């Protein structure tokens, strides 16, 4: 199964062009859509999920014309939106039962079995009677995955699912997501580089509506071999360093500023060569568009 996005564009009525000529090919497995806030990730996902129209371009899930065959696509889709509201005074079990009915599972016994399976999968079986309003952020996200998995989707879209989770919750959520990717196409949008390095076999960097990079995390990092240099400087020196070098990240370390720069050749100035990582890939791509200090 393959999702092919071809020359997709979308401009909102206020004139913001949120998606600019985006082309991507996604295979089974976990695909990370990485970009800063406002990059256009949600716009792209909502368009693929048929919740809004594109102005130009096409999206195909194998032979299915996603933008035209909306009903057919929705039957194959599991979607966890960025703002996933829950009814606070209803239990997880009741809510899933309701969703299952909406999805056309009419047989009560069948629904019970399905709900039991899903709650088990997202590790919420013991909390199934609790009202959703009492769930932690991580529990809500796991519940969100359970509802997205209803109906055995072939395409799963999860929009910024780890934002707001504490490290333990994020880990639990990673474990859950990593099991999904095998037989389905999972698109995960995030501004957190670790989400991609932990989970995704393929990814794209998107910024200001455009795809800046698409490939595997390994290759992306390899491409930067020998091109990342670092050193510690005094804070006020950053102005000059930003003028003289391509500073891709800065980090305060015991009062000094630890900076990493991109350079094709040895930059001198006491810099030492560093092993590149996916953060370097991300920042060296988006620095072309936005000031890293604003991210």
Residues that bind ligand ADP (CB under 6 A): 12, 14, 16, 18, 35, 37-43
- Does residue 184 sit in helix, strand or coil? coil
Q: How far is the CB of 200 from ligand ADP (least distance, A)?
A: 16
Q: Which of 241, 278, 277 is nearest to 261 (CA)?
A: 241
Per the CB < 8 A criterion, the answer to whether 243 and 252 are in contact is no
Q: How far is the CB of 111 from ligand ADP (least distance, A)?
A: 33
Per the CB < 8 A criterion, the answer to whether 177 and 5 are in contact is no
Q: How far is the CB of 157 from ligand ADP (least distance, A)?
A: 12
Per the CB < 8 A criterion, the answer to whether 54 and 19 are in contact is yes
Q: Which of 50, 106, 96, 52 is nearest to 75 (CA)?
A: 50
Distance in angstroms (rounded) separating the CA atoms of residues 80 and 189: 11
Per the CB < 8 A criterion, the answer to whether 51 and 210 are in contact is no
Question: Among residues 21 and 274, whose Cβ is nearest to ligand ADP?
Answer: 21
Q: How far is the CB of 192 from ligand ADP (least distance, A)?
A: 12
Question: Among residues 3 and 39, whose Cβ is nearest to ligand ADP?
Answer: 39
Beta strands 272-273 and 228-233 are: antiparallel
Helix count and strand count (H, E) for the chain: 10, 14
Per the CB < 8 A criterion, the answer to whether 284 and 248 are in contact is yes
Q: How far is the CB of 145 from ligand ADP (least distance, A)?
A: 19
Q: How far is the CB of 294 from ligand ADP (least distance, A)?
A: 14
Question: Among residues 7 and 51, whose Cβ is nearest to ligand ADP?
Answer: 51
Question: Among residues 82 and 230, whose Cβ is nearest to ligand ADP?
Answer: 82
Question: Among residues 29 and 38, whose Cβ is nearest to ligand ADP?
Answer: 38
Question: Among residues 10 and 154, whose Cβ is nearest to ligand ADP?
Answer: 10
Six-digit token pair at 236?
A: 């006020």
Q: How far is the CB of 32 from ligand ADP (least distance, A)?
A: 13
Instruction: Report how far apart, in Å, the C-alpha atoms of 197 and of each of 34, 61, 175, 220 are.
Output: 11, 25, 13, 11
Q: How far is the CB of 283 from ligand ADP (least distance, A)?
A: 16
Question: Among residues 16 and 275, whose Cβ is nearest to ligand ADP?
Answer: 16
Per the CB < 8 A criterion, the answer to whether 220 and 281 are in contact is yes
Question: Among residues 40 and 151, whose Cβ is nearest to ligand ADP?
Answer: 40
Q: Which of 149, 6, 148, 21 is nearest to 66 (CA)?
A: 6
Distance in angstroms (rounded) separating the CA atoms of residues 55 and 164: 32
């Amino acid at each position: 199964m393959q999702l092919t996005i071809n020359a997709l564009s979308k401009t909102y009525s206020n004139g913001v062009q949120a998606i600019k000529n985006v082309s991507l090919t996604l295979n089974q497995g976990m695909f990370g859509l990485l970009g800063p806030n406002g990059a256009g990730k949600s716009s792209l996902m909502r368009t693929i999920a048929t919740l809004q129209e594109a102005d130009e371009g096409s999206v195909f899930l194998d032979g299915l014309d996603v933008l035209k065959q909306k009903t057919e696509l929705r039957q194959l889709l599991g979607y966890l939106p960025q703002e996933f509201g829950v009814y606070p005074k209803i239990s997880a079990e009741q809510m899933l039962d309701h969703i299952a009915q909406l999805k056309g599972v009419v047989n009560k016994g069948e629904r019970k079995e399905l709900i039991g399976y899903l709650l088990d999968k997202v590790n919420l079986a013991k909390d199934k009677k609790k009202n959703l309003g009492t769930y932690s952020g991580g529990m809500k996200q796991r519940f969100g995955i359970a509802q997205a998995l209803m109906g055995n989707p072939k395409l799963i879209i999860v929009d910024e699912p780890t934002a707001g989770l504490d490290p333990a919750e994020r880990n639990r959520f990673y474990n859950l997501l990593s099991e999904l990717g095998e037989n389905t196409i999972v698109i995960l949008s995030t501004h957190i580089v670790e989400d991609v390095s932990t989970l995704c076999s393929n990814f794209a960097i998107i910024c200001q509506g455009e795809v800046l990079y698409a490939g595997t995390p390994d290759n992306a990092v390899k491409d930067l071999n020998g091109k990342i240099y670092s050193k510690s400087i005094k804070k006020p020196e950053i102005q000059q360093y930003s003028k003289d070098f391509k500073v891709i990240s800065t980090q305060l370390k015991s009062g000094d500023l630890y900076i990493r720069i991109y350079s094709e050749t040895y930059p001198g100035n006491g810099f030492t060569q560093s092993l590149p990582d996916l953060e370097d890939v991300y920042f060296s791509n988006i620095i072309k568009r936005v000031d890293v200090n604003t991210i």
